Structure 1
Amino acid sequence: MTTDVTHNPTHRPEPLVSIRHLAKSYRRGAQTVPVLSDITLDIAEGDFIALMGPSGSGKSTLLNLIAGIDRPDSGELRVAGVDIAGLPESSLADWRAAHVGFIFQFYNLMPVLTAYENVELPLMLTRLSRQERRERVEMVLRMVNLADRMDHYPSELSGGQQQRVAIARALITDPTLIVADEPTGDLDRTSATEILAMLQRLNAEAGKTIIMVTHDAHAAEAARSLVYLEKGELLPGPR
């Protein structure tokens, strides 16, 4: 006899990110340095997670593994049902381009390109027409309140405006997941507050799942959930 779980009130949907017994180490000369040890974690679709912990705790390493930038030594890592730890490198690059939007501390904008051109860049390898690309770029620039700055170069924008361009670039492919590594770390408090409010809106109104590494307790307060790492291990913390 089979049971239809869709009628089971206790059934919970599959997490967007499912991590089981993940481990990662790096070689430093002849020495193996463990970074993450036996990480097991679920992240629900639509959540906004802050990864916190002291320097060297493994926060950015865990973020890079989830984003498919790096590979674990062992364990299981599934995102939206895809075993990304088992994908070949070419397939992993395609998956990453289609499903992950990146926001970095130092923006990573091309200085010789305008805001419009920086946001358009991830679409250049797609089959979208020039008009389709323009419509999408203008839409996301409006979302981050930069439609009137699209022809400006990064050097002509404030730090907060540059980070909003980076957020627009992260959104341009309509990714499954947004990963942000210290997105407010290079901003003054006013600009940081504006960026955090924007991430909250993207989470609440656009339903984007966001994983944010931060050492700033003020930034972490913007998230819905907190995950603590210390010496490569998860610590219990408030949700």
Structure 2
Amino acid sequence: MAALVEIEHLAKSYRRGSQVVPVLTDITLSIQTGDFTALMGPSGSGKSTLLNLIAGIDKPDRGGLRVAGQDITTLGEAGLAAWRAAHVGFIFQFYNLMPVLSALENVELPLLLTNLTRRERRERAALTLHMVGLGERLDHRPGELSGGQQQRVAIARAVVTDPTLIAADEPTGDLDRASASEILDLMQRLNRELGKTIIMVTHDAQAAACARTVIHLEKGELHMPR
């Protein structure tokens, strides 16, 4: 199967005052289409930075980075924003839902950038919420939902545009074990049944065990997957 993500000698550092702090030093990696990959490592190892680079949230200092055949290092800010909207669905640790909007309205948000009519947007958002098991919660706001239910809304929002890649940053980090297990089961189903390519940052070995491939980072360097 073809590689969806192709990374060659990628490096990234950040400036803190007058000091330059290297985060990723020389990453070469490929992730196959349809894979479910977990990025593991201690705090500060660079795993979230690597995810953000792959998802086009940040730019590397140097190196090659192609996702779905697109060299995203050549894109400007506007081009990256358009590329992300078309190709990447995000799942965050703390859900990042709009508290004043219903579940349906939160899931509909990414579709506002498409050419769909209002009716089409609402129908697709509702169908996606049904798919993640929240068909009876369409009109509930985030404050009326449990943490696990809020993360299901966030997952529905991530997949409603049918993205090429799902980028998940500690998606179970704010959940109890039972809710985390349900979310991981759902992500496995998205991968297995819909063929979604998922890259998940996690520090949890039990969460990583749900992935097909586990990649370890330590001090900005890559350790080969199991």
Give the alignment's TM-score, normalised by structure 2.
0.99
Which of 133, 144, 149 is the matching residue for 1:156? 144
Aligned position for 2:86: 98
Shift of 1:130: 1.2
Of residues 58, 62, 77 in structure 1, which corresponds to 2:65?
Answer: 77
Amino acid corresponding to residue 89 of structure 2 in structure 1: G
More deviation, 107-116/119-128: 119-128
Pick aligned residue for 2:124 from 132, 136, 139: 136
Matched, 1:52 2:29: no
Question: What's the CA shift string for 1:102-144, capped at 9, x where partnerless?
Answer: 0000000000000000000111122111111122111110110
Runs of 4 or more above 4 Å deviation: none
Unaligned runs of 5+ in 1: 1-12
One-letter amino acid of the counterpart of residue 47, structure 2: K
8 Å contact from structure 2 (residues 213, 225) kept in 1: no
Larger radius of gyration: 1
Aligned residues between the structures: 226
Deviations 1:27-57 (CA, angstroms, capped at 9, x unpaired): 0111110000110000000000000000000
Once the 2 structures are TM-superposed, how far is the Cα of residue 14 of structure 1 from its aligned partner? 3.2
Task: Answer whether contact 2:40 2:215 (CA < 8 A) is retained.
Answer: yes
TM-score (norm 1): 0.93
1:36 matched to 2:21: no
TM-align CA RMSD: 0.7
Which of residues 192, 195, 219 in structure 2 aligns to 1:231? 219
Match of 2:77 in 1: 89
Separation (CA, whole Å) in 1 of partners of 2:126 and 2:225 = 40
Structure 2 equivalent of residue 191 of structure 1: 179
Unmatched runs of 5 consecutive residues or more in structure 2: none
Give 1:45's aligned amino acid. T
Equivalent in the alignment of 1:15: 3
